[in-house]
Amino acid sequence: MSDPSRPKGPKIISVANQKGGVGKTTTTINMAAALVELGYRVLVVDLDPQGNASTGLGIEMEDREFTTYELLLEDVNLREVILASDIDDLLVIPATVDLSSADIELISNEKRSFLLHDALRQPQMDEYELDYILIDCPPSLNLLTVNAMIASHSVLVPLQSEFFALEGLSQLMLTIREVRLTGNKDLRIEGVVLTMHDTRNNLSQQVENDARDNLGDLVFKTRIPRNVRVSEAPSFSMPVLSYDSASKGAAAYRDLAKELVGNNNKAGG
């Protein structure tokens, strides 16, 4: 039974799309940085075995002694697994390739789909006074992604402005529907954000029109442009907001964060 005296927990958002290369990790780290700029305290949970969100936020490999693998499968203390990034108020639970075997190990666990849900709701989590938790999901609809969705209040879907983009979305929507039926009836879609968008490109415009026709208000007004600075920033282990604060990419992620916060305030959650 939940303790009514405990403070209201942070808003937990999964950033998910089973298709790789859509800007999922880029969106996670830059949204986190933009939310921090707005005065919020944010934790990024790296649930992708590639560990790109950890790298993109400056967490060196030698500092990843305890990771999301240990968080899910071993009784590790939160203080050992939550690391500070180079940005004040932006914390990280990192990942390594160890996580790639977690799917197999989770299958034999009775609570396999609820491990992340429970880990992120430990009383000790209150010490961190978080406003948002962003989960960077792997590019597949596996048990790790299901764990993320069951742990989350909502799912944010990056959608690359390219041919066939909407086709993969239907499978993701089916997974969200399944999670609602089996483990998290309140899971909602935070929104779909168009990434790598080029206003000069007819295909980008067509994908945007199709997405808005099919999904309506679920599509964020803010679009993330195809931007060299956004692509360069991860190789310097920082969000684009730190790498080139004045770039179009940084401005777009700031707008997206404001839109997300505004939508949540309107929804009262």
| pLDDT (tens digit per residue) in 29-38 | 999 999 999 9
pLDDT band (50, 70, 90) for residue 103: confident
Averaged pLDDT, 143-166: 90
Residue 8 gets which letter from DSSP? P
Can you state the percent helix, strand and coil of the chain, rounding each to 5? 50, 15, 35
Q: Regarding the domain with residue range 11-156+226-267, which homologous superfamily does it belong to in the CATH classification? A: P-loop containing nucleotide triphosphate hydrolases (3.40.50.300)
Strands 219-225 and 188-197 come out as parallel
∠ CA 151-212-255, nearest 5°, is 65
Q: Mapping DSSP to helix (H, G, I), strand (E, B) and coil, where does residue 196 land?
A: strand
- Report pLDDT digits (tens) over 205-249: 888 888 899 889 999 999 999 889 998 998 899 999 999 999 999
At residue 268, the pLDDT reads 62
User: What residues does 93 pair with on adjacent strands?
Assistant: 45
Q: Residue 163 pLDDT > 80, yes or no?
A: no
Does residue 27 have a pLDDT over 90? yes
Burial of residue 115, with CB atoms counted within 10 A of its CB: 0-12 exposed, 13-18 middle, 19 or more buried: buried
**Least confident among 4-18, 62-76, 117-131, 146-160:** 4-18
Name the range with the highest mean pLDDT among 126-135, 168-177, 211-220. Answer: 126-135
Specify the pLDDT at position 7.
52
Could you give the 3-state DSSP secondary structure of residue 137? coil
Task: Please determine, for residue 15, whether its predicted confidence score (pLDDT) is greater than 80.
Answer: yes
Report the mean per-residue pLDDT for the chain. Answer: 90
Residue 251 pLDDT > 60: yes
Helices (H), the chain: 24-37, 52-56, 68-73, 78-81, 102-107, 115-119, 143-151, 165-182, 202-215, 228-232, 240-243, 248-267
What pLDDT does 235 receive? 87
